[in-house]
Every structure is written in C-alpha cells, then in structure tokens.
Amino acid sequence: MDSHRVHASPIITGLPSSERPPRLESADEPLAREQVKPKPTRPAAFPKSKIKILLLDGVHQNAVDMFLKEGYQVETHLKISEADLIAKARDVHAIGVRSRSQINQRVLDAAERLLAVGCFCIGTDQTDLMAAEKQGVSVFNAPFSNTRSVAEMIIAEIICLARQLCDRSMELHRGKWNKLSKNCWELRGKVLGLVGYGHVGSQVSVLAESMGMQVIYYDTVSKLPLGNANPVDSLEDLLKRSDFVSLHVPLTPQTENMMGSAEIAQMKQGAYLLNASRGTVVDIPALASALRSGHLGGAAVDVFPSEPANNADGWISELQGCPNTILTPHIGGSTEEAQGKIGVEVAAKIIKLINSG
C-alpha cells in the first residue's frame, strides 16, 4: 500500500484485512462526549487504481465501462484455460464470468485477494457457492435481466415447432420444395404446460395467452397465476394435458433428469417439448428416441448436459438429425438488451461492495 494520503478517493472497506487501512473514528462524526478531542488524521485510502477486475467470457462492454469509470484496472479475456485463470486470479479483487468459465475450488483457493465473483447471467451454476461462502467471497448474479429475452425465444420456438418452419427452411436450403400442411397447427386454443412458474415461466405465460393459448403450470412452490393461467396438482397431470411443455426449473438434485423416458411417455402423442432451463433436466437419449419414433411432434433445446468451452470446439448430440427439432447453443438470454442490462446490474453490485463494503 502506498504510504501517502489520497484524499480524493473514498476509503474502500470491502478489501481484505491485509490490504485494508486501520479504521479510525471519522472526523465528520458528531462527538458524543463533552471533551472535544483533536480530529484524528484520516487514514490513507486504498487507491482505486490498484483494484483489479478480471472479466471473462465476453462480459458486456457496459460492465467494462463502469469499472473503468471507477478507476479500476480491468483485464478481459474471451476464453481462458483453467491454469491461466488460476494464475491471473491470484491478485485480482473481482472476477466476472458468464456461463463458460468455471469458478471452482481450485480457482478460489488461488484467489487470495478475491472479494467478489460476478455471474453475468441468471444462474450461478459455474461457481462453487459453498467454497465461495467459506472464503468470504460474495457471489452476484442477475436473475431478472434476461427474462424477457428467454421468454420471447420460447414463444418463437413454439410457433416454429407448430408449423415445422425449421425443417421446411432446411429443405429449401438443400433445394427441396416441400409444401404441406399435415401436422402443422395454429397456436390458438392449444394448451401450454409450464413446468416452473418463476420469472421466465410467468412471462412466457403472459405472452402465450396473448396468442390465444390456454396456460397451465406446475410448480413445487405456490405461485400467484397471471392472467388466466391455472396451476395443476402434479407434473403427470400437466404432461397428459399439454400440447406444448416448456421447462423453466433451476438446477437441483430434484430436477436432474426430471424428464426421462417415463415422463416423456406420459406426454400426448405428437406433443412438443421445450427446454431452456438447465441441460441436465432432460434425458437426451430418451428425448431423441421419442422424436425418432414419432411419439413427440418436435422439440426445442437450448441447454445441454455437456456444452463446449468455446465456439471453436465441436459438438455432438443424439438430437442431431431428429425431425422437427430446434437446437440452439445456449442463447436464450443472448440479446444485446439482456446482456447490456446484466452488465449494468452485476457491475453495480460489485462496485458497491468494493467501495462501501
């Protein structure tokens, strides 16, 4: 720490004790005692210019700009190996990630000065929360900022599945003209079953109703329905009644493979399954089998049990080549609007912690 006084910067109380100046009574506090003591010398503040922020996975420029405006040092990497991440984590005060880089026990053990991990996304699956808690590292995320983006994608996929638009498009790209109406449907009057009625599920509910769909939902927690949506008592009841089933659940031991062979078999003949929640929620081989057999009329999957570390890596799945199946590379929240809002929300939380504790 520099020994000279820096009166222009506020005292940063969120730093580790090894780098935090000793706290003294503020000269601005009203004195409760009758005897007036000389005003103490204000301790030297830890310069903001020495705060180091490491941002990975293409965190939005909004966040970068906010950190730079505070005077922090900011280093960005689109992709990084775990070994390099561990090396760089040793002297940083905050790390920001999206869904690619993993902040595990090894990274946290190396990050001796770390105050915060910013998950610039809805969830915190990429961070070892228990290890972070034990080491006193705060973890921030943005649970609401990309809700609309995910909900709009689900509605778009429902329309595409109902009309088999993606298959027709691919056929034309290959030079095949295949005009047909068999097994193509309007959405009006169809039943949409939402498994999970949280931030995203409830927004999908509102949008679907505006298109004339009937909405039912199942959630383990009692939720106030929006519009004319109705709760059902069990997952089995929802699966049997729905023309479209859309999954919006968190990653927990209870939701792992919650849609397996038995559950998929309970769905209507020709129904559609959509998953933009967590990759481990659906048994992928079971889904592929139901699609190839014709039991399901189609599916849209945005998340997978195993996802590439970067765009240059290859990817293989049993779902490739299945009829009327939309596969997207975890882009539910990948819009300019969503990423911009996430950048602002998470960066603001980290800045508040560093500057004010």
**Is 188 tagged catalytic?**
no
CA 165 to chain CA mean position, Å: 28
Question: What is the DSSP code (8-state) at residue 48?
Answer: G
Please compute, for residue 144, the number of CA atoms within 13 A of its CA located in the half-sphere on the CB side: 2
Rounded CA-CA distance 300/291 in Å is 11
Classify residue 108 as exposed, middle or buried by CB count within 10 Å of its CB (0-12, 13-18, 19+).
buried
Given the residues 330, 336, 337, 345, select the one marked as catalytic. 330
Rounded CA-CA distance 76/72 in Å is 13
Sheet holding 214-218, edge to edge: 230-231, 214-218, 191-195, 244-247, 271-275, 296-301, 325-327
**Is 278 tagged catalytic?**
yes
Backbone angles phi, psi at 224, to 5 degrees: -75, 120
Which of 164, 210, 207, 213 minimizes the C-alpha distance to 188? 213
Element (H, E) at 292: helix 284-293
Given the residues 112, 236, 307, 337, select the one marked as catalytic. 307
Tokens for 301?
A: 């999957």
Backbone angles phi, psi at 62, to 5 degrees: -55, -45
Rounded CA-CA distance 304/141 in Å is 21
DSSP three-state, residue 241? helix
- Kindly list the distances between the CA atom of residue 192 and the CA atoms of 187, 207, 212, 217, 231, in Å, as whole numbers in the listed order: 9, 11, 10, 8, 12
What residue spans of 118-274 are helical by DSSP H? 129-134, 147-163, 165-173, 199-210, 235-241, 261-266
Given the residues 278, 292, 295, 337, select the one marked as catalytic. 278
Known catalytic residues are 278, 307, 330
